[in-house]
């Protein structure tokens, strides 16, 4: 029991008990203090994970850690193309309704138990049966079957070209161990098959990982990783420059450019798979008129917004998919054109209105961006009432359709379906703006089942153009992945999907 | 054996229990009025209706409010504060994890505040109107006006980044590594202690001034007692009662209100916990933390009352 282990841990810390014995092999839940972590890689992330059960958390802070603890059947490489991981190979049946995965045979979990097809069945069944947060990713799955000990078959109801991305694009689809889940330990002391295992968990302070000596792949090359939670970016940078941590992504945007000048710090800058957008409530006038939406699309100054929010560390984009992705489609019909925007605003009845623009202080860039948008709109005769809410309230208001216009980002997609379907299909689960275009619905449905990659891309390119032309979303930019690390950290690469992988990194000795 | 002190204690304890129950009721009711759905926050932006319903049921949020309320009160009375919506951990354990960090920071803060306030406040009062008095008042005015987070960042820049003397952030339990704890508590302790100490300096000054002007001090002086005796035995002892009140309030405030400082110094205390929990609408954690902070507030008040009674026996009787 994790609960029992924790009480033991507390007591040990207080010096009341002599040992925290028999809690999983060598797992120290009393805190990182009893481990010798001097040689460990020390990283600062911007927040504390809510829990470490990969199927139950949706917090990025959890996945920054879990990325190194768990494996999926397949995983995206740096170009976000799917590569073997726990599955060595796979094949799809003639009718496209059956995917068979051949599993690696040399994999063991951190507690020493072997990894088999049953673990895959258990993991996926758990997500589907308990309707966990990721169940939507497996909506096409009819059955998961262990064919033999090292072969697993996934049956789907319709051809599903995005299946690999669905099961591997995200550690929320990790393969978990049944016993670890059923004991409840998974929340704090998860057992995976990844390059590192959880070795200590001090609430509010740090999670410590230790290298998995039995890891099936290359690496790891550091004895462990200590994740500290430092939400204040200035503090995290002070820790980085003081040598207290080797890596951080807790960086205030206004510090990025000066950080690039610092020779003692490496800074990453690749466009991320995140995108930010403005959308308008099509259930309400005047935004039920496409003209009114296009007026906004032509009024806003994307460069200025990128400048105030990310100090230029963002790539302007008028569609969702970033240029680093194979699904990128170059399409940018709008230039800032106040004259044209004013005409559109007048003919659609938008001019002279006061618009409510809903933003959230959970994502401060929405608050700053809103100020630029308000200024842009006032140039075309529209006044804006910026409404800043905390995120919980924001989500409620969005769900109830209580907004004229809102601003938010969508974080981390791999397959192109995830960029468009839920947001712009009339039945999409995230279509809060109420967009409905039968042609787009048809294209998005066809894209879900088209198995020829070129034909599939063609479908999505057409859908994307129509979505942009109708201004269902007015896309702004893909922010850069901004991470900084000390020069002695070698072999680290920032990825567009923000997966933080430490299995290949080394710490060089100080060469004073 | 019902000494006045014991009767006094019993009465205060009963009072404490009643207030706690009130806090429980008020917090539960207030959380229902706050907009924002905990299930939606927990699931993020992508989920199916089925997932939503499943989590809502698992969190017990689908039950009628009154049922939730009585279940909560019943459990709370037995020390079971429920489990966190987000992590599934028992709230009592989460609070026990966070309490030492907050208490140790508050203790450091209040110690630094007292170290600042006592000498400076007394000094200023005894030399009322002098340049020293003016200087101390100006400095304390500055200290009161400085936001603690700004002071915190400034301390990090000077002592960590520029001088490299102290680590910029983090927390080590005192029981594990006293030296590491001390190194890490100094900066956040200073940030809160300076602000709090500046406030208290002014109280100490006026408390001492009040006493200095009173008849018994004049009497003591006219008897020709040495200055040190007059100040130590008569002035400070009598000034202690109002100062204790302020120190108590300051200490209690620190226990519940160090949110920003805990964020700046990545300090794993209750302030940051409740901050995150409110954002996530993690009701059990919010309720538990507020309850604990209220409890500590009441205990400190109790402690202050007892100290009064020790310092000034007249209070015990009345």
pLDDT by residue (tens digit) across B101-121? 999 999 999 999 999 998 999
Residue A290 above 50 pLDDT? yes
A204 touches chain B (CB under 8 A): yes
pLDDT of residue A412: 81
Segment A127-143 mean pLDDT? 92
Name every chain A residue with its beta carbon within 8 A of the beta carbon of B55: 133
Among 1.25.40.10, 3.40.50.360, 3.40.190.10, 3.40.1390.10, name the CATH number for the domain at A194-265+486-507: 3.40.190.10
Kind and range of the H or E element at B26? helix B4-33
Nearest by CB to B161, from A56, A241, A395: name it: A241
Contact A77, A83 (CB under 8 A): yes
Rounded Cα distance between B281 and B262, Å, is 20
pLDDT of residue A1: 34
pLDDT of residue B272: 87
Place of tokens 């791999």: A414
A229 touches chain B (CB under 8 A): yes
Q: What is the CATH number of domain A275-480?
A: 3.10.105.10
Residues of chain B with pLDDT under 70: 1-2, 256-257, 313-318
pLDDT by residue (tens digit) across A451-506? 999 999 999 999 999 999 999 999 999 999 999 999 999 999 999 999 999 999 99
Residue A401 above 70 pLDDT? yes
Residue A267 above 60 pLDDT? yes
Rounded Cα distance between A73 and A71, Å, is 7
pLDDT of residue B316: 60
Do the chains contact at A396 and B35, CB–CB below 8 Å? yes
Residue A357 above 60 pLDDT? yes
Contact B126, B231 (CB under 8 A): yes
Residue A399 above 70 pLDDT? yes
Name every chain A residue with its beta carbon within 8 A of the beta carbon of B272: 204
Strand A354-360 versus strand A405-410 pairing type: parallel
Please report the ipTM that was assigned to this predicted complex. 0.84
A396 touches chain B (CB under 8 A): yes
pLDDT of residue A34: 56
Residue of chain B with shortest Cα separation from A239: B168
pLDDT of residue B318: 53
B148 min Cα distance to partner chain A (Å): 14
pLDDT of residue B9: 80
pLDDT of residue B87: 84
Rounded Cα distance between A308 and B193, Å, is 36
b/e A8-29 (16+ beta carbons within 10 angstroms → b)? bbbebbeeeeeebeebbeebbb
Q: Torsion angle of alpha carbons A170, A171, A175, A179, nearest 10°?
A: -150
A239 min Cα distance to partner chain B (Å): 6
Mean pLDDT over the full length of chain A: 90
Q: What is the CATH number of domain B105-267?
A: 1.10.3720.10
Do the chains contact at A393 and B101, CB–CB below 8 Å? no
The answer to whether the A194-265+486-507 and A275-480 domains have the same CATH topology is: no
pLDDT of residue B58: 84
**Annotated domain spans of chain A:** 70-179, 194-265+486-507, 275-480
Rounded Cα distance between A428 and B43, Å, is 17
Do the chains contact at A392 and B88, CB–CB below 8 Å? no
A51 touches chain B (CB under 8 A): yes
Q: What is the CATH number of domain A70-179?
A: 3.90.76.10
pLDDT of residue A20: 31
**Annotated domain spans of chain B:** 105-267
Residue of chain A with shortest Cα separation from B260: A232
């Amino acid at each position: 029991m994790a609960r029992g282990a924790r009480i033991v841990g507390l007591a040990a810390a207080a010096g009341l008990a002599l040992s925290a014995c028999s809690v999983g092999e060598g797992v120290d839940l009393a805190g990182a203090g009893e481990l010798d972590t001097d040689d460990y890689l020390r990283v600062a992330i911007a927040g504390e994970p809510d829990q470490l059960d990969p199927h139950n958390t949706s917090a990025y802070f959890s996945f920054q850690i879990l990325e190194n603890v768990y494996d999926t059947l397949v995983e995206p490489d740096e170009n976000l193309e799917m590569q073997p991981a726990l599955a060595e190979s796979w094949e799809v049946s003639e009718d496209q309704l059956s995917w068979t995965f051949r599993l690696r045979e040399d994999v063991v979990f951190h507690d020493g138990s072997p990894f088999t097809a049953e673990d895959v069945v258990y993991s996926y069944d758990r997500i589907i049966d308990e309707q966990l947060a990721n169940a939507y990713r497996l909506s096409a799955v009819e059955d998961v079957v262990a064919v033999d000990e090292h072969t697993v078959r996934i049956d789907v109801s319709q051809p599903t070209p995005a299946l690999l991305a669905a099961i591997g694009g995200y550690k929320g689809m990790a393969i978990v161990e049944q016993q670890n889940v059923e004991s409840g330990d998974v929340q704090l002391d998860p057992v995976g098959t990844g390059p590192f295992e959880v070795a200590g968990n001090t609430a509010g302070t740090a999670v410590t990982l230790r290298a998995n000596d039995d890891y099936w792949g290359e690496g790891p090359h550091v004895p462990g990783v200590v994740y500290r939670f430092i939400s204040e970016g200035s503090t995290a940078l002070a820790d980085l420059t003081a040598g207290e941590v080797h890596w951080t992504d807790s960086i205030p945007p206004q510090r990025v450019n000066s950080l690039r000048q610092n020779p003692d710090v490496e800074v990453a800058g690749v466009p991320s798979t995140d995108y930010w957008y403005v959308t308008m409530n099509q259930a309400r006038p005047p935004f039920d008129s496409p003209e009114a939406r296009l007026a906004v699309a032509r009024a806003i100054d994307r460069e200025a917004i990128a400048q105030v929010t990310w100090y230029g560390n963002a790539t302007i984009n008028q569609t969702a998919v970033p240029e680093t992705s194979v699904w990128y489609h170059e399409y940018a019909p709008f230039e800032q054109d106040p004259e044209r925007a004013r005409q559109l605003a007048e003919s659609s009845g938008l001019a002279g209105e006061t618009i409510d623009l809903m933003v959230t202080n959970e994502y401060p860039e929405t608050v700053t961006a809103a100020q630029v948008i308000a200024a842009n709109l006032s140039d075309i005769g529209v006044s804006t009432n910026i409404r800043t809410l905390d995120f919980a309230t924001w989500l409620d208001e969005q769900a109830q359709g209580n907004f004229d216009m809102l601003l938010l980002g969508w974080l981390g997609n791999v397959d192109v379906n995830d960029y468009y379907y839920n947001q712009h299909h009339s039945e999409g689960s995230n279509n809060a703006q109420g967009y409905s275009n039968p042609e787009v619905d048809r294209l998005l449905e066809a894209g879900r089942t088209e198995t020829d990659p070129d034909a599939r891309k063609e479908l999505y390119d057409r859908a994307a153009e129509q979505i942009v032309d109708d201004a269902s979303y007015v896309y702004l930019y893909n922010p850069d992945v901004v991470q900084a690390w000390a020069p002695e950290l070698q072999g680290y690469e920032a990825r567009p999907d923000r997966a933080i992988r430490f299995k290949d990194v080394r710490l060089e000795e100080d060469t004073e | 054996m019902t000494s006045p002190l014991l009767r006094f204690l019993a009465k205060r304890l009963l009072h404490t229990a009643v207030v706690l129950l009130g806090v429980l009721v008020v917090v539960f009711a207030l959380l229902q009025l706050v907009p924002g759905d905990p299930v939606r926050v927990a699931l993020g932006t992508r989920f199916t209706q089925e997932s939503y319903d499943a989590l809502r049921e698992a969190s017990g949020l689908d039950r009628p409010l009154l049922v939730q309320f009585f279940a909560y009160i019943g459990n709370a009375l037995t020390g079971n504060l429920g489990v966190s919506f987000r992590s599934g951990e028992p709230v009592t354990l989460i609070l026990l994890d966070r309490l030492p960090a907050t208490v140790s920071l508050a203790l450091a803060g209040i110690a630094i505040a007292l170290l600042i306030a006592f000498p400076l406040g007394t000094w200023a009062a005894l030399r009322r109107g002098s340049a020293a008095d003016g200087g101390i008042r100006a400095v304390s005015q500055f200290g009161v006006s400085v936001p603690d987070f700004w002071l915190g960042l400034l301390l990090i820049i000077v002592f960590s980044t520029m001088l490299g003397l102290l680590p910029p952030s983090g927390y080590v339990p005192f029981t594990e590594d006293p030296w590491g704890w001390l190194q890490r508590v100094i900066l956040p302790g200073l940030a809160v202690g300076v602000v709090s100490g500046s406030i208290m300096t002014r109280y100490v000054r006026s408390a001492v001034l009040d006493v200095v002007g009173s008849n018994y001090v004049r009497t003591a002086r006219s008897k020709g007692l040495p200055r040190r005796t007059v100040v130590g035995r008569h002035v400070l002892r009598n000034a202690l009662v109002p100062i204790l009140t302020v120190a108590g309030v300051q200490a209690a405030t620190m226990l519940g209100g160090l949110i920003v400082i805990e964020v700046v110094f990545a300090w794993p205390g209750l302030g940051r916990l409740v901050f995150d929990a409110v954002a996530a609408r993690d009701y059990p954690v919010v309720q538990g933390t507020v309850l604990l902070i209220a409890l500590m507030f009441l205990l400190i008040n109790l402690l202050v009352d007892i100290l009064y009674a020790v310092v000034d026996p007249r209070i015990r009787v009345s």
